[in-house]
Amino acid sequence: MEKTLNTKFTYTEKKDTRSGFGDGLLEAGRKNPEVVGLCADLIGSLKMGAFQKEFPDRFFQVGIAEANMMGLAAGMTIGGKIPFTGTFANFSTGRVYDQIRQSIAYSGKNVKICASHAGVTLGEDGATHQILEDIGMMKMLPHMTVINPCDYNQTKAATMAIAEHDGPVYLRFGRPSWPIFTDSNQKFEIGKAWKMIDGKDVTIFATGHLVWEAVVAEAILAEEGISAEVINIHTIKPLDEEAILESVAKTGCCVSAEEHQLNGGLGDSIAQTLVRNNPVPMEFVGVDDSFGESGTPMDLMKKYGLKAENIVEKVKKALARK
């Protein structure tokens, strides 16, 4: 279906976003000798092997001990290192929340918490590993920057950008092979939303894997004569409120789309901005207060209502409320 649609962005190749992280880390390491890597027994899954091979003295295998990894990373910043920690999103956040809160966020440490296998698209491993609460947990922490890029190229660019940023960052990415539809030479600006498609009837604010679904949704809506604006919110915190308000001032309604719980996610942050400044009709695409389960990434996206079709449906609902 996607192939026959006239999407404004297209792809010829698919790749996992975690590979974007691994390649970005290698480049960041080449650029800056202070960059160090830590991993909790998931070097292959996190694609950190190339960095480990090239910089063995700047890479630390921590074993299955994520709490210690967060503390080590915080300590390494004292002495000027820029540590990148790698494990699954679940073990990067919920498992070590207090360590991140006290030793990293409250202590203002320059640690990059890099989290793979976020959301339901982790697939068959099931709900124990499919965290859908991580954005909420991380965005609640003062000092924390929260980034969820959309494809391989953007993840690579984001990884290199956070190495240059002073302060704690949560970088969220995923496991499945995903369309590469953004530019390989893009400049990643933390906190700056990217308007990918101009529209006038409705705005779709999307983050992570769902940016591609938003691009597809725009094409479906265009065929029905609905003009949707698509904005890529790769940085959930700090949120680009100016871009959000400027867009809804034009379109008058919006939909948020994320692979995350509705409670505490991107949609919540946007809604707060709108309620304070310009309350327009808004609908939400995300997981509605439920854990995930085993299945293929695509089956799970469908079952949990995260596909382009779900965005289209919510757009129509928002338009009807205008």
Partner 1 sequence: MEKLSIDQLNKTCSQVRRDILRMVHAVNSGHPGGSLGCTEFFVALYFNQMEHNTNFDMNGKNEDLFFLSNGHISPVWYSVLARSGYFSVEELATFRKIDSRLQGHPTTEENLPGIRIASGSLGQGLSAGIGAAQAKKINGDNKTVFVLMGDGEQQEGQVWEAAMYAAHHKVDNLIATIDLNRQQIDGLTVDVMDLQDLRKKYEAFGWEVVETKNGNDIEEVVSVIEKAKSLLGNGKPVMNLLHTEMGYGVDFMVGTHKWHGVAPNDEQLENALGQLEETLGDY
Under DSSP, is residue 229 helix (H, G, I), strand (E, B) or coil?
strand
Q: Is 245 in the site for partner 1 (CB under 8 A)?
A: no
Residue nearer to partner 1 on the CB measure, 166 or 223: 166
Do 127 and 180 touch, CB atoms closer than 8 A? no
Shortest distance in whole angstroms from residue 170 CB to partner 1: 18
Do 261 and 133 touch, CB atoms closer than 8 A? yes
The C-alpha atoms of residue 97 and residue 80 are separated, in whole angstroms, by 24
What spatial distance separates the first Cα and last Cα of the chain, rounded to whole Å?
29
Which residues are within 8 A (CB) of 302 and not within 5 positions of it... i.e. 6 or more apart? none
Q: Is 75 in the site for partner 1 (CB under 8 A)?
A: yes
The C-alpha atoms of residue 34 and residue 320 are separated, in whole angstroms, by 53
Site string for partner 1, 78-117 (x = CB under 8 A): xxxx-x--------------xx-xxx--xxxx--------
Residue nearer to partner 1 on the CB measure, 59 or 284: 59
Q: How many residues of this chain interact with partner 1, rule: CB under 8 A?
A: 31
Shortest distance in whole angstroms from residue 99 CB to partner 1: 6
Do 322 and 281 touch, CB atoms closer than 8 A? yes
> Site for partner 1 (CB under 8 A): which residue of 4, 56, 57, 187?
57
**Six-digit token string for 25:** 């880390």
Stretch that binds partner 1, among 61-69, 179-187, 217-225, 303-311 (CB under 8 A): 61-69
User: Active site includes 66?
Assistant: yes
Site string for partner 1, 256-295 (x = CB under 8 A): ----------------------------------------
Catalytic residue among 2, 54, 66, 241: 66
Helices within the chain (DSSP H only): 17-31, 43-46, 49-54, 66-76, 89-92, 97-99, 134-139, 152-164, 210-223, 241-251, 266-277, 297-303, 308-320
Shortest distance in whole angstroms from residue 75 CB to partner 1: 2
Shortest distance in whole angstroms from residue 251 CB to partner 1: 40
Residues contributing to the site for partner 1 (CB under 8 A): 36, 57-58, 60, 62-63, 65, 67-68, 70-81, 83, 98-99, 101-103, 106-109
* Catalytic sites, residue numbers: 66
